[in-house]
Amino acid sequence: MSEETQENLNARRGADLIADEVSRLPQRPGVYRMMNEDGDVLYVGKAKSLRARVSSYAKSGGHSNRIMRMIAETARMEFVVTATETEALLLEANLIKQLKPRYNVIFRDDKSFAYILIADDHPAPQILKHRGARKRKGAYYGPFASAGAVNRTLNTLQKAFLLRSCADNVFENRTRPCLLHQIKRCSAPCVGLITEADYRELVAEAITFLDGDSQSVQRQLSTEMEVAASALDFERAARLRDRIRALTYVQGSQDINAEGLAEADVFAIHSEGGQSCAQVFFFRAGQNWGNHAFFPKHDREDEAPAILSAFMAQFYDGRDPPALILTSETPDQADLLAEALTLKAGRKVTLLTPQRGEKRSIMDQAAMNAREALSRRMAESASQQKSLARLAEFLELDAPPRRIEVYDNSHISGANAVGAMIVAGPDGFEKKHYRKYNIKTADLAPGDDYAMMREVLTRRFSRMMKEDDQETRPDLVIIDGGKGQLSAALGVFEELGLDPASEGIAIMGVSKPRRENEAGEKRVDRTMGAVGEQIVRPGRDPFILAPRDPALFFIQRLRDEAHRFAIGAHRAKRAKSLGANPIDEIPGVGPSKKRALLNHFGSAKEIAGAKPEDLTAVEGVSEALAQRIYDFFHGG
């Protein structure tokens, strides 16, 4: 039987299965799922009438090649009836994000947007950058498209409103103003240099500004500056002048003019060569709070309005939409999408495709950004494909690797040891798959890189085998190191009963060339720096690639990225450990007692060496608490 005949038979079988389901479906709104024989979800769709929509798949003709393949693979269907088509749209978007069906437009959500939070759970509210769930009481402002955008705005707001950014425990233990006060970024409420009422007034001004009424704040500050100048209080007038300058800066430093846009998201889409870029700009409080490019996964046959509609529905699943959303072109079922977002937000949400005026000008600039981002993406993708093909040729692989994992360690004499894994593929570095591993082995000798590598690889591949996840199974594993690290890696695979060759996993080590000096010590050969890296493969002698070989540059780029990520993880862990204080872990010792203990003894080291009777000399420390503190430091 020919392949074409088999495909036709599968398509008829799928159509017959769908037709059988149609006979039992109601003419009501809902969501349907199409699944293959293995239970994998192929497609999630929504319908105003389930019976009418699903019956269209049972027809013998009029389908695109993609739909024909989907019908041929369908072995089972599941349905959820909803009260309205709007609810069906929201449920569809949620299921697509969770299940990532093969035939849907998929929003690759690898971006956790940052917000500015003015916390209101303390007498002196704190201003800070926030990511994740909004569990803390306070006012949230965002989203900001990048860490740089939120940090710049946060720094400017500190200059303009002098709000504290320190953590509550630091605030409680201050005895004199910190450096931020010295550089005029904080009003120092921690030591009473501003009254609680005056500080609350600064907080109110900041909230007014972030709510979009920046002009009234500036007018008020200008009036206060004139009054201070008239009263010859030039020092206060100068402080107010600096605050006004900061507000002017944050309003004026915009890449795209936001005049007339108090609160809006701008979506521009550009499609070319079967790929698309959705560029999103965020405008809040009349300011541009940054932009981000997304590259949704979709079929080559999908049209831009359909891609944009599916992308937006998934984008706002888990995010609050603003009052106004501008689009470069009208998305499919725009009225239904607007109704769904209105239902989600609990207030009116308007979708608009501007045709002229200032909003059209902003949209044109967003569309230009989408076009340029897609061009860069396609150029990078072509270069990446070429590098992967050369790497496959060099390693004698059957096909270019789909997933490459690179491992590295970072530590200082064994302290704050961290293992790191980065992932690369046809689309470049896949940062959402990066992982860091805090080294947990208790009896690890300081600086034992081999043992660290063994622990990291054991944890990574034992989990892979347990979950049997084919999506995260690498085609190539690169170890940062020479023969020793490679042997440690091969030992891990042997212990786990994992044969890299039979599993289709290539493995190699990358290290600097080494030579023996006159004393017989092996040192990195600095004279070989321009030549490249030493490649180590199982069962083969180490060798060095030609200086201009594209595979060499690609391997170096992978190794350098792993090194960067490992060092970053190590520095973050080290900084956290330096800032930690063992007193914080003692039950019953809060901020006030901690401050009293440190003021009395001078340091945590002196507290650790104190006797219980010495500890009771501190105000507020009872005999029971003194004994608890003593036991904490002496293993009691």
Contact by Cβ (8 Å): 452, 411: yes
The DSSP annotation for 157-186 comes to HHHHH----S-HHHHHT-SS--HHHHTTS-
Strand partners, 35: 41, 76
Who contacts 195 (Cβ-Cβ below 8 Å, separation ≥6)? none
Give kind and range of the element (H or E) at residue 136: none
Parallel/antiparallel/unpaired status of strands 263-272 and 324-327 = parallel
Write out the two tokens for 339.
């109704």
Closest listed residue to residue 280, CA positions, set 377, 116, 143, 90 = 143
Parallel/antiparallel/unpaired status of strands 506-511 and 476-480 = parallel
Quote the radius of gyration of the chain (alpha carbons, Å). 31
Cis, peptide link before residue 587, omega less than 30° from 0: no
> Which amino acid type is present at position 234?
F
Q: SS3 for 289?
A: strand
Structural domains in the chain, sorted by start:
3-99 (3.40.1440.10), 114-252 (no CATH), 263-376 (3.30.420.340), 404-577 (3.30.420.340), 582-633 (1.10.150.20)
Predicted confidence (pLDDT) at residue 155 exceeds the cutoff of 70:
yes
Per-residue pLDDT reduced to its tens digit, 479-505: 998 888 899 999 999 998 888 888 889
Give the pLDDT band of residue 30 (cuts 50, 70, 90): very high
Contact by Cβ (8 Å): 79, 25: yes
> Which amino acid type is present at position 78?
E
Q: How far is CA 56 from CA 24, 53, 509, in A?
A: 15, 6, 54
Closest listed residue to residue 422, CA positions, set 464, 474, 351 = 474
Per-residue pLDDT reduced to its tens digit, 284-335: 877 788 888 899 988 888 899 999 999 999 999 888 899 999 999 999 999 9
Place of tokens 């003419």: 27
Closest listed residue to residue 530, CA positions, set 544, 516, 519 = 544
Predicted confidence (pLDDT) at residue 165 exceeds the cutoff of 50:
yes
pTM, two decimals, is 0.68
* CA separation for the pair 380, 374 (Å, rounded): 10
Adjacency order of strands within the sheet including 263-272: 287-294, 275-284, 263-272, 324-327, 350-352
Neighbour count for residue 575 (Cβ, 10 Å): 11
Mean pLDDT of 327-350: 92
What is the pLDDT, as a whole number, of residue 356?
87
Give the pLDDT band of residue 602 (cuts 50, 70, 90): confident
Per-residue pLDDT reduced to its tens digit, 414-447: 677 889 999 998 888 888 889 999 888 766 677 7
Q: What percent of the chain has pLDDT over 70?
A: 89
Q: How far is CA 209 from CA 164, 252, 377, 395, in A?
A: 17, 14, 37, 59
Predicted confidence (pLDDT) at residue 277 exceeds the cutoff of 90:
yes
Q: What percent of the chain has pLDDT over 90?
A: 24
Predicted confidence (pLDDT) at residue 567 exceeds the cutoff of 50:
yes
Predicted confidence (pLDDT) at residue 524 exceeds the cutoff of 50:
no
